[in-house]
Structure 1
Amino acid sequence: MQTSVSYSAEYANAESLRRADIATTHAAALRSISRVVEDSGVHSDTGAAAAGIAQMLDIGGVLVLTGAGVSTDSGIPDYRGPNGSLRRHRPMTYQEFKYDAGARHRYWARSYVGWRQMKNAQPNIVHYVLAELEEAGKVLAIITQNVDGLHSAAGARQVLPLHGDLSKIECLDCGFVEPRTALDQRLENANPGYLERLDDAELQVNPDGDVDLSDSFIADFQMVGCLSCGSEKLKPNVVYFGESVPTPRKEQAKQLLEQSSSLLIVGSSVAVMSGYKLVLDTLRAGKPVGIINAGPTRADRKATYLWRASARDALEELIDWVL
């Protein structure tokens, strides 16, 4: 009896610690989402910054880190720009997705609708210019924080999707992986007429692939289960806020940085640590850091060259200088 009581107490204590850890990580994720990147007041001469970044590319071996700003011209909004999705939508954290069945159901209803726009998005000139610079040997590789797959679609060969991509779905219970296209067909079969009811609605997709829907539409949505174990804990193969980048990707990013001559940030505020750490590691290695972004970034004060411009405008200018 004493053993049973002791075991129950230990289990209750362990469960309490687990819940506290989840809550702490969730709170940290919310802080990351809400981080506001203020203008540092650092504004380098545009001509000098452009010339410096062009020189980096002339030398070659540049590691490029891209963010949502490279995909805005493809119809996918960014997070923290002037029209960023964070002004109207808070992304779900990993803790919400994993432990809250209701939150997970809301995500899949919204993502089922949003996937229509995500899967039809096409690369824009920024994606094509970066692929061309890679082909010319100016760019070593592209590390992207985006999950849209557009760099590869534009022909870039060495692409590391740091935060994963939306094209694969993983079961959190058994680990089974399914292509998003296959899951989408199963969802369509389970929800006949669902999309047609939204034909006249004005919906704007978010960077993580979902859209805002009314509670009535969410309630009507029917989720399907894992093909292997039947669980409905299906998750896009992307890194959510509050979730760590997988160790193999971290190691690959580290190796690419070691092989590179410099780091060029394009279309990212580097507000999250996974991107900002690349800046810090590059500077520790004594290599220059160039930044091209329309708004302020977390690394403005640390940049070797800071070019305040849209990714499209800057890349169109650079391609004429470098190639």
Structure 2
Amino acid sequence: MRMRPTLSWSSTEDLPPGTTDLAPVAGVLEGGGVLVLSGAGISTESGIPDYRGVGGSLSRHTPMTYQDFTAGDQARRRYWARSHLGWRTFRRARPNAGHRAVAAFGRHGLLSGLITQNVDGLHQAAGSDGVVELHGGLDRVVCLSCGALSPRRELARRLAEANAGFRPVAAGINPDGDADLTDEQVGDFQVVPCAACGGILKPDVVFFGEAVPPARVEHCRELVRQAAALLVLGSSLTVMSGLRFVRQAAEAGKPVMIVNRDPTRGDRHAAARVALPLGAALTAVAEGLGVAVDGETAAPD
């Protein structure tokens, strides 16, 4: 549900190559004051696909835009049918080794903050505190009329009651919790209104085509200003909502480290990009720093 980029970025052929050397990442973490910026890639090991990696969902799935969602009832019916089904699977996802390692770094005082582009709540479920959800969270919904926030679990209960016979089999699940369904499978799915005012309900996330709230952006910029270094985990940085913080850190002379298997739009601003699977890489860094990583974590609510 991130904004679709409006400009393409240059070929990766002129970008610095990735490395498998974890020493630079360990070095900045050992110094403390590291701000983490995470993307969809950190959640793939929890069974949630990313948008742009190999087999990413954008190759087969066009996310709902804010403009489409607000334009008509049929678009909202399609969205909520798919999202309701996807939520059943999405909410069962568990934090993986990457999430747990990030939480451990935080407990050991190595991080100054954590910004995530993800809407899955897995960082919080792993035990990370003070997580800034750049694109919001799927665990809550907002009314577009009165602004009331309510838990997603309550909406799920209401939708289940209104659609008792709705049990289609989805072709796949997407990073925004949206399941792949045909129009025939959506059928006459019933959408429920805001319980407070009867208005239109929307997940409290930033859709494609919707801007991140300015106050949230400024808060993130302040976190970059306060940080000693920026560590990007599992993000292609294709959209400006995350790339701007990489550029800000680099322009301020702060070290930027990226752990992502594929080249990213921020590689030219980074001191190094480690091209390794996140779970194994971050666990290895934690072990090298003597940081204990918990093995048991809760599921997001």
- Tell whether the structures are fold-level matches, with TM greater than 0.5: yes
SS at match of 1:237: strand
Q: Secondary structure at the match of 2:113?
A: strand
Match of 2:245 among 267, 278, 287: 278
Report the Cα distance in structure 1 between the residues aligned to 2:120 and 2:10, rounded to whole angstroms: 24
Match of 1:107 among 79, 83, 97: 79
Partner in structure 2 of residue 209 of structure 1: 177
Whichever residue aligns with residue 223 of structure 1, its letter is: V
Tell me the secondary structure at the aligned position of residue 146 of structure 2.
Answer: coil
Q: Distance in 1 between matches of 2:171 and 2:108?
A: 39
1:222 to 190, 212, 217: 190
The aligned counterpart of 1:156 is: 128
Q: Distance in 2 between matches of 1:306 and 1:208?
A: 26
* Structure 1 position 173, deviation (Å): 1.6
Identity of aligned residues (%): 47
What is the distance in 1 between the residues matched to 2:18 and 2:90? 37
Between the two proteins, the alignment pairs up a number of residues equal to 288
Partner of residue 19, structure 2: 46
Distance 2:285 2:11 in 1: 27
Work out whether 1:234 is the aligned partner of 2:201: yes
For 2:44 and 2:68, the matched residues in 1 are separated by: 27
Aligned amino acid, residue 67 of structure 2: Q
Structure 1 residues 172 and 79: alpha-carbon distance in aligned structure 2, compared to 1, 3 A threshold: same
Q: 1:157 to 1:274 in 2, by over 3 A?
A: same
Offset of residue 51 of structure 1? 1.4
Structure 2 residue aligned with 1:61: 33
Counterpart position of 1:78: 50
1:266-304 CA-partner distances (Å, limit 9, x unpaired)? 000011101000011101211010011011100111211
Is the contact made by 2:18 and 2:275 (CA closer than 8 Å) also made in structure 1? no
Residue 137 to residue 299, structure 1, CA distance change in 2 (3 Å):
same
Select the structure with the greater relative contact order (CA < 8 A; seq sep ≥ 6): 2
Query: C-alpha separation between the residues in 2 aligned to 1:120 and 1:281?
Result: 36
Q: 1:142 aligns with which of 74, 91, 114?
A: 114
Distance 2:116 2:218 in 1: 15
Q: CA deviation at 1:217?
A: 2.3
Q: Which has the higher helix share?
A: 1
1:133 aligns with 2:105: yes
Partner of residue 8, structure 1: none
Q: Unpaired runs of 5+ in structure 2?
A: 291-301
For structure 1, the residue ranges without an aligned partner over 5 or more in a row are: 1-28
CA contact (8 A) 2:224 2:249 kept: yes
| 1:172-321 equivalences in 2 (<5 Å) | 172-195=144-167, 198=168, 201=169, 203-231=171-199, 233-321=200-288
Deviation track 1:246-276 (CA, whole Å, cap 9, x = no partner) reads: 1221122122112210000000001110100
Cross-structure match for 2:298: none
Task: Give the aligned residue type for 1:169.
Answer: V
**What's the offset of the Cα at 1:163?**
0.5
Q: Greater shift after overlay, 273-282 or 132-141?
A: 132-141
Q: Please give the TM-score of this superposition, normalised by the length of structure 2.
A: 0.91
CA distance in 2, matches of 1:261, 1:269: 22
1:130-152 CA distance string (max 9 Å, x none): 00011111122210000000000
